Structure 1
Amino acid sequence: MSSIEAVGVLSDRWAHGRSRTAGLVVAGAALTGLLAQVALPVPGTPVPFTLQTLGVILAGATLGTRRAVLSMGLYVALGAAGVPWFAHNSSGLHLPTFGYLIGFILAAAFVGQLSARGGGRGFWSACGLMIVGSLVIYAVGVPVLALATGASWVDALLMGAVPFLIGDFVKILMAAGLLPGAWAFVNRGSDPV
């Protein structure tokens, strides 16, 4: 069995003990909060374009299901409690974007599961992780946006998904470059187990 098969996700190499696990959970939340600050308003929608979904997917892919869910749960809970690390240095829960925040937690879980099974090691696999994660986020975010704004399902898709597809494509390419590179770095010089 190779070292890649022996280790489910990247953080399994370092998450030995509660303090390291806690540090990784906090780091994933902090990275997502930092990436949320790269935020651009999108005309016609209360949902801004941000890089935070890249943080969500990277957290899932590198931390695995349990740690990623804890990390995104921490991100959402602290942001709801007043830490200004949502888009545009905001905090608190806003109904039109609340579904996306819940989607972050679910996407981190799905991506963590796929990563633990070998996803994200190569370019196309990393693309697949990002696509799955994005679809999970949209699957929760868009319906909540429709309910919060009274928009039709089509209008909610036009407000909450379509304007972000090009940006998501760029984030997919970023993840596809980062994840396989991180695995190659970690496994450089590793001997088969």
Structure 2
Amino acid sequence: MNSAAAETSASLGTAIAWLRGGSWGRRSFLVLAGTLFLATSSWIEVPMVPVPMTMQTFGMVVIGALYGWRLGGATVVAYLLQGAMGLPVLAGGAAGVHHFFGPTAGYLFGFAVAAVIVGWLAERGVTRSPLLSFAVMMLGHAAILAPGVAWLAAATGMGWSQAMAVGLTPFLLGMVLKSALAAACLQAAQRYRRPTTTRP
């Protein structure tokens, strides 16, 4: 590993350690801030039927990468509970427990899976480079789309081919673009957290 890669990896480790550490009060604040970020991301959408395209998935993988799998997973679960309790935090400001039994429920459950997977990999330094970060973000998006399409096929009875046509294919380009944006944001966060060093 060259010096630049080593500095980047150390910087990411410092950032994740800072986010995961601290008191319960600090962690609670981070969870609340994270759910606000996720809600804001969910309000940015392109209307599509039956599944809208939003920035939610971008938010899930970013939270996972920055918070780590425990805090990231807890943040996403808290966000989903907020939506189930009626707070307008889901796509387009939607809310209500019925969304967890409707055609998009698989995507919702996939959110937590994605945050945990991305967070677990980030904690182990897999996101230390832009290319690896992009690959991890793609994996996180896949962890959302896979159960989403499976649930869509089962819940609506439309079958796998149609479920993939309406619940996967339209989102592939967005998956790539949002993964690239998430990886770029993570790399920017690493540079921001990198300690300043004085060279002789």
Both structures adopt the same fold (TM-score exceeding 0.5): yes
Task: Give the count of matched residue pairs.
Answer: 189
Equivalence for 1:66: 70
Q: Does 1:34 align with 2:46?
A: no
- Aligned pairs for 1:79-118 (under 5 A) are 79-92=83-96, 93-94=98-99, 95-118=102-125
Per the alignment, in what secondary structure is the counterpart of residue 96 of structure 1? coil
Give CA deviations for 1:3-44 in whole Å, capped at 9, x if unaligned: 8448647342143111111111122221111000011112xx
Change (3 A) 1:83 1:9: farther
Deviation at 1:123, TM superposition (A): 1.2
Indicate the RMSD between aligned Cα atoms, in angstroms. 1.9
Alpha-carbon separation, structure 2, partners of 1:131 and 1:9: 24
Alpha-carbon separation, structure 1, partners of 2:34 and 2:152: 26
Q: What amino acid is the match of 1:65?
A: W
Change (3 A) 1:51 1:65: same
Q: What amino acid is the match of 2:17?
A: D
TM-score (norm 2): 0.88
Displaced runs of 4+ in structure 1, greater than 6 A?
Answer: none
Per the alignment, in what secondary structure is the counterpart of residue 67 of structure 2? helix
Give CA deviations for 1:152-177 in whole Å, capped at 9, x if unaligned: 11111111111011111211121121
From 164, 173, 176, the equivalent of 2:180 is 173
Per the alignment, in what secondary structure is the counterpart of residue 177 of structure 2? helix
Instruction: Structure 1: state its 5+ residue gaps.
Output: none
Amino-acid identity (%): 34
TM-score (norm 1): 0.91
| Cα contact 1:7–1:13 (8 A) shared by 2 | no
- Aligned pairs for 1:116-131 (under 5 A) are 116-131=123-138
Q: What amino acid is the match of 1:12?
A: A
Alpha-carbon separation, structure 2, partners of 1:176 and 1:65: 17
From 15, 19, 24, the equivalent of 1:18 is 24
Instruction: Structure 2: state its 5+ residue gaps.
Output: 1-5
Structure (1 or 2) with the larger CA radius of gyration: 2
